[in-house]
């Protein structure tokens, strides 16, 4: 009986903690969803509870409720037909896709070289990558701006892709290399005996084995630039080159107070990630559980 009581208490505490975390996480999201469909422009006076208590009968204790507010899609129509939202969406998608592709290619090849080959200054180069990752990106913002200005990368999408890719390489090279180190070199040797080249070994043997870390790298590299604000604000100047973060913030600056439109845009931004997660969560879990011979 004592053990049963302890288990019940522990389970209650765990469930209570999970419920508290869920409330903290989902409470702001409820405001975003409610604001996206609420009429008007401001959400300062809006409540996520769609009804109010009108009267309470003292004798019976019955309460009557009345729904307040209204449901509207005007904010979504305004975004789609009257703003450059889809242009911002396209620019952000191009930047994020190219950043993910280049990061995966460069980081995986670099990790393969560091994991499988011995050469002069190998340790020093690895330490240099680690040291570069220690400093925050804000430290080099002036240098980044000057470099982009000299090479003609300001106010261009490829300039922003260059910034993101360069910032992703150090840490991601270390991460993928650490995963490749666990893959047995017997696979390389067996393929080399059969006459496979280094690139063939990398592309047809190593990459399928390290697919879980490559998938994680692609997702993290894509989501990083998706809603970044600092670097697009610094690099991009033309209205037609703006990204989602820079474009959406224009609805809530010191001159404009369209928080409901901002909420509608934020909700649309989250939809692709939700769909992507629902479609890939099973394959991601299966790939994380699979593997080859490891040392």
Containing H/E element for 56? Answer: strand 51-56
Least confident interval from 97-106, 226-235, 238-247, 255-264: 255-264
Burial of 218 (0-12, 13-18, 19+ CB in 10 A): middle
Contacts of 231 (CB under 8 A, 6+ apart): 137, 144, 160, 163, 164
Band (291; pLDDT cuts 50, 70, 90): very low
| pLDDT score recorded for residue 292 | 45
Report pLDDT digits (tens) over 190-249: 888 888 888 888 888 888 888 888 888 888 888 888 888 889 999 998 888 999 988 888
pLDDT of 158 strictly over 90: yes
* CA nearest neighbour of 248 among 262, 267, 231, 235: 262
Residue 149: C-alpha distances to residues 70, 138, 152, 162, 214 (Å): 49, 17, 5, 13, 33
Q: How far apart are CA 287 and CA 8, in angstroms?
A: 36
pLDDT of 90 strictly over 50: yes
Q: How far apart are CA 199 and CA 245, in angstroms?
A: 39
* CA nearest neighbour of 72 among 37, 47, 46, 32: 37
| pTM as predicted | 0.80
Containing H/E element for 212? Answer: helix 211-226
Tokens of residue 180, six digits: 């490749």
């Amino acid at each position: 009986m004592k053990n049963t009581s302890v288990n019940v208490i522990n389970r209650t505490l765990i469930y209570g903690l999970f419920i508290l975390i869920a409330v903290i996480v989902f409470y702001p999201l409820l405001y975003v969803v409610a604001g996206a469909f609420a009429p008007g422009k401001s959400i300062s006076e809006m409540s996520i509870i769609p009804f109010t208590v009108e009267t309470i009968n003292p004798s019976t204790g019955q309460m009557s409720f009345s729904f307040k507010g209204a449901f509207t899609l005007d904010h979504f129509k305004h975004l789609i037909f009257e703003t450059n939202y889809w242009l911002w969406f396209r620019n952000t998608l191009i930047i994020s896709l190219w950043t993910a592709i280049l990061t995966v290619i460069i980081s995986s090849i670099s990790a393969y070289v560091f994991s499988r080959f011995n050469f002069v200054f190998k340790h020093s180069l690895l330490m240099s990558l680690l040291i570069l990752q220690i400093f925050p990106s804000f430290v080099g913002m002036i240098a980044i701006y000057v470099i982009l200005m000299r090479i003609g990368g300001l106010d261009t999408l490829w300039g922003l892709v260059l910034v993101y890719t360069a910032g992703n390489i150090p840490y991601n090279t270390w991460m993928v290399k650490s995963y490749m180190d666990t893959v047995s070199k017997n696979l390389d040797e067996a393929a080399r005996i059969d006459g496979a080249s280094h690139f063939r070994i990398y592309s047809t043997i190593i990459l399928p084995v390290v697919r879980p870390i490559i998938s994680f790298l692609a997702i993290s590299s894509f989501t990083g630039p998706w809603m970044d604000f600092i670097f697009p604000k610094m690099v991009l100047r033309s209205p037609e080159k703006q990204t989602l973060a820079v474009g959406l913030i224009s609805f809530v600056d010191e001159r404009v107070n369209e928080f409901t439109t901002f909420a509608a845009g934020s909700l649309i931004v989250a939809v692709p990630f939700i769909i992507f997660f629902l479609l890939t969560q099973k394959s991601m879990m299966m790939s994380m559980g699979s593997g080859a011979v490891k040392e």
